[in-house]
């Protein structure tokens, strides 16, 4: 990722030195690059140029309003999984007719909000959800365009916690029930089944599972059309992976060619919902070394970021590159270090025995590829304030979510009358 590169020995985000941002906002913080966001968008959306394809950015990967707006400016729609995300997308300037609402447990209130906003499509994942939506929409006197998310029973070959397309996963309707479910929907008021949706998981590094799932969707499309349903759209989800370490990845062009080879002659509008691939490598997490601790057999680099700020290593055993912000001398020897945060959990470990140049208290480190599923999954565990998010654009940078004050965190809570 060339936008996060050393210049004169200092790691920069575009033309902004991470040391300068750290001085201005304190540590830890997330830092996103506008140029990287735009380049990722251009690579992905550009691969589908001229086709009847809508790209709906999966907001859950990074839902900061400034990130959503950066994509909205380029013509992005949004894939949302809650009313909160839908309102973020609308507030960031995504037109409602480019918003898809996904998720296995939409409440009636969320359905009402989506129908009032007039979004493009709701992706329904069960019969009870279908019945609820039918009631809500008919009660409002509207008809909702819907897809069913089908579960194609395909192994995405990714981490178990982010695989969603096997029949034992909670997502979607079983492929073998799809005909019955579409028939049921066609008989209900307030809903119009116009699409088939699929999303088999995240951080896929191989096209084969996508291809298998999309072929099943194409087969189903023919069956449903034969049954008399007017299916005009396919929603093929997200899931394309990024390079965290040394993964070999299909390019957006390879991915697009695979999609087009399957959908090109189906006469359908295609929606895609990329998240990670648009934001993952466009962000870093910057932390400061608090202590270097020499254990009996290992050295610990204790930094001021923790699992509550970036949970991916603890949750998914994921790998993030770790670089000193001030470049080490080219002849510096490396030492294996356990990079850990201050939270009272052994799981608060970013890396084990990672070779790093000699580090000292006060030194800054950057965790690479932290733009997706980083800030959005953070929590206030250990009463650690959510860390700021910063967006860089050339030499400019702006705080796009400030660090809350501890006073405000405490002030948000209430004592019951008896205390
Ligand atoms: C999470 C999710 C996405 C985005 O997944 P990425 O791996 O970030 O591309 C797309 N669609 C649905 C339905 C999702 O749940």
Number of C-beta neighbours around residue 175 at 10 A: 20
Measured in angstroms, how far is the CA atom of residue 236 from the centroid of ligand 1? 10
Helix axis angle for 34-46 and 252-263, nearest 10°, is 30
| Nearest atom of ligand 1 to the alpha carbon of 201 | 7
pLDDT of residue 126: 95
| 3 state SS of 193 | strand
Measured in angstroms, how far is the CA atom of residue 93 from the centroid of ligand 1? 20
Measured in angstroms, how far is the CA atom of residue 10 from the centroid of ligand 1? 34
Measured in angstroms, how far is the CA atom of residue 252 from the centroid of ligand 1? 16
Q: What is the pLDDT of residues 291-327, one digit of tens each?
A: 999 999 999 999 999 999 999 999 999 999 999 999 9
The dihedral built from the CA positions of residue 229, 210, 168 and 131, taken in this order, carries a sign that is negative
Look over the chain and give the mean of its residue pLDDT values, rounded to a whole number: 97
The two tokens of residue 320 are: 């993030």
Pseudo-torsion of CA 311, 312, 314, 320, nearest 10°? -120
Q: Which of 165, 170, 199 to mutate to test the pocket of ligand 1 (most atoms within 8 A of CB)?
A: 199
CA distances from 369 to 241, 275, 318 (A): 11, 13, 11
- Going residue by residue through the chain (419 aa), what tens digit of pLDDT does each one get? 589 999 999 999 999 999 999 999 999 999 999 999 999 999 999 999 999 999 999 999 999 999 999 999 999 999 999 999 999 999 999 999 999 999 999 999 999 999 999 999 999 999 999 999 999 999 999 999 999 999 999 988 888 888 888 888 889 999 999 999 999 999 999 999 999 999 999 999 999 999 999 999 999 999 999 999 999 999 999 999 999 999 999 999 999 999 999 999 999 999 999 999 999 999 999 999 999 999 999 999 999 999 999 999 999 999 999 999 999 999 999 999 999 999 999 899 999 999 999 999 999 999 999 999 999 999 999 999 999 999 999 999 999 999 999 999 999 999 999 99
| Nearest atom of ligand 1 to the alpha carbon of 240 | 9
The two tokens of residue 9 are: 């020995």
Measured in angstroms, how far is the CA atom of residue 9 from the centroid of ligand 1? 37
Number of C-beta neighbours around residue 416 at 10 A: 5
CA 353 to CA 357: how far, in whole Å?
Answer: 12
Delineate the domains of the chain, giving CATH numbers in brackets: 4-32+280-411 (2.40.37.10), 35-278 (3.20.20.10)
| Nearest atom of ligand 1 to the alpha carbon of 276 | 8
Ligand 1: lining residues by beta carbon, under 6 Å: 58, 60-61, 79, 102, 199, 202, 237-240, 273-277
pLDDT of residue 293: 97
For ligand 1, atom 11, the nearest C-alpha belongs to 237
Distance of CA 221 to the CA centre of its chain: 28
Q: Which of 58, 164, 250 to mutate to test the pocket of ligand 1 (most atoms within 8 A of CB)?
A: 58
CB of 291 within 8 A of CB of 361?
yes
The reply to whether 344 belongs to the active site is yes
| Nearest atom of ligand 1 to the alpha carbon of 197 | 13
Q: Which of 45, 273, 276, 377 to mutate to test the pocket of ligand 1 (most atoms within 8 A of CB)?
A: 273
């Amino acid at each position: 990722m060339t936008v996060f590169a050393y210049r004169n020995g200092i790691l920069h985000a575009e033309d902004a030195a991470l040391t300068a941002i750290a001085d201005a906002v304190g540590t830890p913080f997330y830092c996103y690059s506008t140029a990287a966001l735009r380049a990722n968008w251009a690579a992905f959306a550009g691969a589908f140029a001229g086709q009847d394809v809508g790209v709906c950015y999966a907001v859950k990967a990074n839902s900061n309003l400034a990130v959503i707006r950066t994509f909205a400016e380029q013509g992005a729609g949004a894939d949302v999984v809650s009313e909160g995300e839908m309102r973020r997308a609308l507030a960031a300037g995504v037109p409602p007719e480019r918003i898809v609402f996904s998720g296995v447990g939409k409440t009636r209130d969320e359905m009402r909000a989506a129908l009032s906003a007039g979004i493009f499509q709701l992706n329904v994942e069960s019969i009870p959800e279908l019945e609820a939506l039918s009631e809500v929409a008919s009660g409002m006197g509207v008809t909702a365009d819907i897809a069913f998310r089908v579960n194609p029973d395909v192994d995405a070959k990714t981490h178990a916690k982010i695989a969603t397309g096997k029949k034992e996963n909670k997502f979607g309707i079983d492929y073998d029930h799809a005909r019955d479910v579409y028939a049921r929907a066609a008989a209900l008021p307030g809903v119009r089944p116009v699409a088939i949706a699929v999303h088999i998981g995240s951080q896929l590094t191989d096209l084969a599972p996508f291809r298998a799932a999309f072929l099943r969707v194409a087969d189903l499309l023919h069956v449903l059309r034969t049954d008399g349903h007017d299916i005009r759209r396919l929603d093929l989800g997200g899931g394309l992976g990024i390079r965290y370490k040394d993964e070999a990845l299909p390019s957006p062009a390879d991915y697009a060619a695979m999609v087009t080879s399957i959908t090109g002659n189906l006469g359908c509008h295609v929606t895609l919902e990329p998240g990670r691939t648009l934001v993952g490598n466009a962000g870093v997490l910057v932390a400061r070394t608090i202590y270097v601790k020499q254990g009996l057999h290992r050295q610990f680099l204790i930094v001021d970021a923790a699992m509550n700020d970036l949970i991916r290593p603890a949750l998914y055993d994921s790998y993030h590159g770790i670089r000193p912000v001030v470049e080490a001398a080219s002849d510096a020897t490396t030492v294996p270090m356990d990079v850990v945060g201050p939270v009272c959990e052994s799981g608060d470990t970013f890396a084990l025995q990672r070779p790093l140049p000699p580090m000292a208290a006060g030194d800054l480190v950057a965790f690479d590829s932290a733009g997706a599923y980083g800030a959005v999954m953070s929590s206030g565990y250990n009463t650690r304030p959510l860390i700021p998010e910063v967006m860089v654009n050339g030499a400019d940078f702006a705080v796009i979510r400030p660090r809350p004050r501890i006073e405000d965190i405490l002030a948000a809570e209430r004592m019951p009358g008896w205390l």
